[in-house]
Structure 1
């Protein structure tokens, strides 16, 4: 499997598997940036935030971009995600991964919600 395929597979797991699974794929000092009211989380704060720990039932990635420079892999994409009883969540996201001695670890994740604007 290519590095790109590996990272996309990991990214999907972050969205749909439980927090314990995500924790094993995340660097200890990782930084996550979420929309208000959550904001910037680092390290163990990530796993204490209730909204982060919730998993999504389905996710779909579009507008995918991938770049790799040495031991850093970056994904950028648009996500459409669904949870039971909630409206579909649409956001632009980026995730950065570090290959640390052959093991990819997520070191940064950021989400910007897609908002509809009135063209008038």
Structure 2
């Protein structure tokens, strides 16, 4: 599910994100929430390939926390490398992403 956020673009991500979700991108995008998330150009762009490693998941009742390292490629730009975390809430039978954060790897 997390990989789909990277590869399906904003429309797919919007359906899997809580209405009051918060996303933190590296500068200059910064902290985005509400409708601002979907106006940010970095959310709308799809990645051609995504490789996740160092995956960690912690699930407590209806909350799941994911942490991972990602290397994403669009083909026409250098590989994007970041450390990421996402928090999900299980609402009925659906997992919705509440937060997502990316820290660039130098």
TM-score by length of 1: 0.86
Partner residue of 1:90 out of 54, 58, 81: 81
Question: Partner residue of 1:110?
Answer: 101
Question: Partner residue of 2:41?
Answer: 50
Q: Which runs of 4+ in 1 moved over 6 A?
A: none
Question: Partner residue of 2:6?
Answer: 15
Q: Deviations over 1:71-109 (max 9, x none)?
A: 000110000000131000000000000001111000000
Measured after TM superposition, the shift of residue 43 of structure 1 is 1.3
Higher strand residue share: 2
Whether contact under 8 Å (2:9, 2:43) holds in the other structure is no
Question: Partner residue of 1:28?
Answer: 19
Partner of 1:51: helix, strand, or coil? Answer: helix
Whether contact under 8 Å (2:47, 2:72) holds in the other structure is yes
Question: Partner residue of 2:53?
Answer: 62
RMSD value, Cα: 0.6
Q: Between Structure 1 and Structure 2, how many residues are aligned?
A: 106
Measured after TM superposition, the shift of residue 19 of structure 1 is 1.1
